[in-house]
């Protein structure tokens, strides 16, 4: 059984789960109509239930809902439904962080404060499916608030969606994007290379690095060891791969083996060809 704590608006209410002894949010069209605090019910049809497990830095959930327009809960609900369609299982605990983030973004837009995300393109390449859902969220935000968020903000929303899928903190996902950008800047500087960040070869490189980092996280060892062969055939690309791996090891506090260096070098070779760089053996 549930007890209504507060009706947030016609489409949202905060309740207490008497069985699990925790607060929950229900979202659905018209569910708050003619309900009031202390009303009890067993279940609501055509609604989405979000269990509120985690404590927040902003205090109690009741306090948070005092300060947040429920429209942002509805926006996050729409985004999370789309994410569930795409990924099937997501962590619904992102409801409040995502809602709070979007609310803050709109507040900044109202104050004519520019939203900047220098890693938006890296995020898009790292998490393309999540980015697609975030683009859908951009449309939902405009429909419900009248404000059109920019692609930089879409990048931030992407990180929240990714955190709901991979059980990874938003800050960790952002750190990966930052590490990749800094690493590519080092490559450009050390090898006098201009990388085309919109090229297919770069997109493939980022995808490869994403799966490489996933293997490290899962403690998987790459079975295909092309290290020596690639080192001999593509020495410049191999040196670039070494720089990338060392940089990522330093920035992300991980360890990458020689097999990963050799495999990565093949993708670095494509980058040098794409950008018209010299590939002479040295």
The pLDDT tens digits of the residues spanning 84-93 come to 999 998 988 8
Burial code (b: 16+ CB inside 10 Å, e: under 16) for 37-49 equals eeeeeeebeebbe
Angle between helices 170-190 and 200-217 (to 10 degrees): 130
End-to-end CA distance of the chain: 73
Domain spans in the chain, listed from the N-terminal domain onward: 1-53, 68-168, 177-274
Tens-digit pLDDT profile for residues 118-134: 999 999 999 999 999 99
Report whether CATH 3.10.20.30 matches the domain 177-274. no
Predicted local distance difference test score (pLDDT) of residue 221: 82
User: What is the mean pLDDT of the segment spanning 21-36?
Assistant: 91
Domain 1-53, CATH number (from 1.10.3720.10, 3.30.70.1230, 2.30.24.10, 3.90.1150.10): 2.30.24.10
Name the residue with higher pLDDT: 239 or 51. 239
**DSSP calls for 152-182:** HHHHHHHHHHHHHHHT--HHHHHHHHHHHHH
What is the band of 102 on the pLDDT scale with cuts at 50, 70, 90? Answer: very high
Could you tell me which of 154, 170, 150 has the C-alpha nearest to residue 162? 170
Predicted local distance difference test score (pLDDT) of residue 227: 78
pLDDT reading at 276 higher than 60: no
Six token digits for residue 31? 């569910």
**DSSP calls for 247-279:** HHHHHHT----HHHHHHHHHHHHHHHHHTT---
Question: Model-level pTM?
Answer: 0.85
Could you tell me which of 115, 79, 72 has the C-alpha nearest to residue 96? 72
Domain 68-168, CATH number (from 3.40.50.11540, 1.10.1790.10, 1.25.40.10, 3.40.50.1370): 1.10.1790.10
| Equal CATH topology for 68-168 and 177-274 | yes
User: What is the mean pLDDT of the segment spanning 130-156?
Assistant: 97
Instruction: Report phi then psi at 217, rounded to 5.
Output: -60, -40
């Amino acid at each position: 059984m549930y007890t209504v704590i507060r009706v947030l608006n016609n489409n949202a209410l905060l309740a207490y789960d008497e069985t699990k002894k925790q607060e929950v949010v229900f979202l659905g069209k018209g569910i708050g109509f003619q309900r009031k605090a202390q009303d009890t019910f067993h279940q609501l049809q055509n609604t989405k239930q979000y269990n509120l497990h985690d404590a927040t830095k902003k205090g109690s959930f009741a306090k948070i809902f005092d300060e947040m327009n429920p429209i942002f809960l509805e926006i996050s609900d729409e985004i999370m439904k789309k994410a569930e369609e795409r990924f099937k299982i997501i962590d619904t605990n992102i409801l409040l962080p995502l809602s709070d983030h979007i609310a803050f973004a709109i507040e900044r837009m109202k104050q004519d404060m520019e939203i900047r995300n220098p890693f938006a393109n890296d995020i898009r390449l790292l998490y393309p499916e999540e980015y697609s859902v975030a683009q859908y969220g951009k449309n939902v935000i405009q429909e419900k608030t009248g404000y059109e968020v920019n692609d930089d903000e879409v990048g931030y929303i992407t990180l929240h969606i990714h955190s709901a899928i991979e059980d990874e903190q938003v800050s960790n996902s952002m750190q990966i994007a930052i590490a990749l950008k800094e690493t590519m800047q080092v490559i450009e500087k050390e090898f006098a290379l201009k990388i085309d960040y919109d090229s297919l070869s770069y997109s493939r490189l980022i995808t490869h690095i994403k799966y490489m980092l996933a293997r490290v996280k899962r403690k998987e060892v790459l079975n295909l060891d092309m290290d020596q062969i690639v080192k001999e055939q593509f020495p410049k690309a191999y040196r670039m791969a070494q720089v990338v791996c060392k940089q990522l090891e330093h920035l992300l506090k991980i360890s990458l083996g020689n097999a990963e260096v050799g495999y990565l070098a093949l993708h670095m070779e494509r980058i040098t060809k794409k950008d018209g760089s010299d590939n002479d053996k040295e």
